[in-house]
Amino acid sequence: MRAGPSQEDIRRHNLGALLRHVHLGGPISRAELTAKMGLNRSTIMALTSDLTAAGLVREELPRETGRAGRPSLVVRPESARVYVFAFDVGPDRLAVARVGLGGAILDRRESVRERGTFELGELAGMLAGFARQMRRKTRADTVCVGAAAAVSGGVRKADGVVRFGPNLKAEDVPFGEELGRRLGLGLPVSVGNDANLAALAEHSRGVGANVRDLIYLHGDVGIGGGIIAGGHLLGGHDGYGGEVGHMVVNPGGRTCGCGAHGCLEAEVGERALLESAGRFGAGQHGRDAVRAVVEAADRGDIVAQEALSRVGDWLGLGVANLVNIFNPEMVIFGGMLREIYLGSAAQVRTQLNLNAMAPQRERLRLRTSALGDAATLVGAAELAFAHVLADPLEVLARANA
């Protein structure tokens, strides 16, 4: 016979669950926590006092209740005191943020990245340098409890090695390990695929909050994806799941960075759009170049309109395949795909009507990212906070040691 969970296991679980409510939902009264968590008042009081003593939350009288009687204390995250570092490594951009418990971005640095090379030491050194600058500005009583990075590539779940990243030019790079060493905080750095993490971000704090089945599509140079099924991210056996950009939609079509032909990324990615619009060439790339095509189409430029329409057809076909297989409640377009979708929504809808099965598309909602350019960073921060939410007191004790 297996022993059930111990009192200590239950307490740890409840502390994490309470902190998660405060972290994701913001300030909340003890009375609401009692109702939401299905625990009695004295248990909630004991849990909040433990978290308060640890410096993770604080309790305050509500500003206005409008009700008679003794007001219930409001529990708030200690956002300014407890934080994580979130990193984002994209083909064109590096970003670092200091994110407080509760999800507030407290500080942020961004830098342009030269495409086409991946110098591990240099890159990790630069990111760690940004983090150190931010750290120097913090108060003495602040504590960093985690760090995580979003990278544009396939990341091995077991050890955070970036196995492939054709758009980053990274292959089998021990990125988390190197960044952790350079940061020198004695903390491991978790690493995740950027689109997977952005999907988690939209699911926990964005347009997909409370949506249990969603697909997030992220456009950068290529197309990434994150699939949330039944409230969980589908990572696959090794963590490489959700690479929807390499779903073949046009056999024998354009050559893809992965070596195959006609992948969604090859037909919809930045290069396909810019080439179709006759705008591919020296110096013309990135978000601004894509935005310029969408704006030109808006102004009536026929070449730009045709390019967008072509890309929208392939995008719609890819979404139709995903909708047939996963039956999501919502598909979210993020990164560069936000602009592309807004400029080609009619084509996307037409292809869905032609290729997705009626029951799967009847209640489907198509949305653009609510977190915008911050989605990948916010997702990285959530990955970094995951350890804290799993075992708040243990993580804090280690961070303070």
Interacting residues toward Zn ion by CB under 5 A: 246, 256, 258, 260, 263
Contacts 24+ apart (CB under 8 A), 34-39: 39/14
In the complex with Zn ion, which residue's Cβ is closer, 272 or 381? 272
In the complex with Zn ion, which residue's Cβ is closer, 48 or 276? 276
Q: How far is CA 99 from the centre of its chain?
A: 13
- The CA angle 113-116-118, to the nearest 5 degrees, is 75
The three-class DSSP label of residue 151 is: strand
Shortest distance in whole angstroms from residue 268 CB to Zn ion:
11
Shortest distance in whole angstroms from residue 150 CB to Zn ion:
20
In the complex with Zn ion, which residue's Cβ is closer, 215 or 393? 215
In the complex with Zn ion, which residue's Cβ is closer, 24 or 258? 258
Q: Using DSSP bridges, classify how beta strands 365-368 and 330-335 pair: parallel, antiparallel or unpaired.
A: parallel
Shortest distance in whole angstroms from residue 249 CB to Zn ion:
10
- The type of residue at 281 is G
- The type of residue at 68 is A
- DSSP assignment of 92-139, as one string? SEEEEEEEETTS-EEEEEEEE--TT---HHHHHHHHHHHHHHHHHTS-
Shortest distance in whole angstroms from residue 260 CB to Zn ion:
5
In the complex with Zn ion, which residue's Cβ is closer, 268 or 307? 268
> Which residue carries 């070449």 as its tokens?
303
In the complex with Zn ion, which residue's Cβ is closer, 17 or 260? 260
Shortest distance in whole angstroms from residue 262 CB to Zn ion:
8
**In this structure, what are the phi and psi dihedrals at residue 311, rounded to the nearest 5 degrees?**
-65, -40
Shortest distance in whole angstroms from residue 165 CB to Zn ion:
13
Shortest distance in whole angstroms from residue 131 CB to Zn ion:
33
In the complex with Zn ion, which residue's Cβ is closer, 262 or 312? 262
DSSP secondary structure code for residue 263 in this structure: B
Q: Which residues contact 194 (CB under 8 A, 6 or more apart)?
A: 88, 89, 90, 150, 151, 152, 218, 220, 224, 376, 379
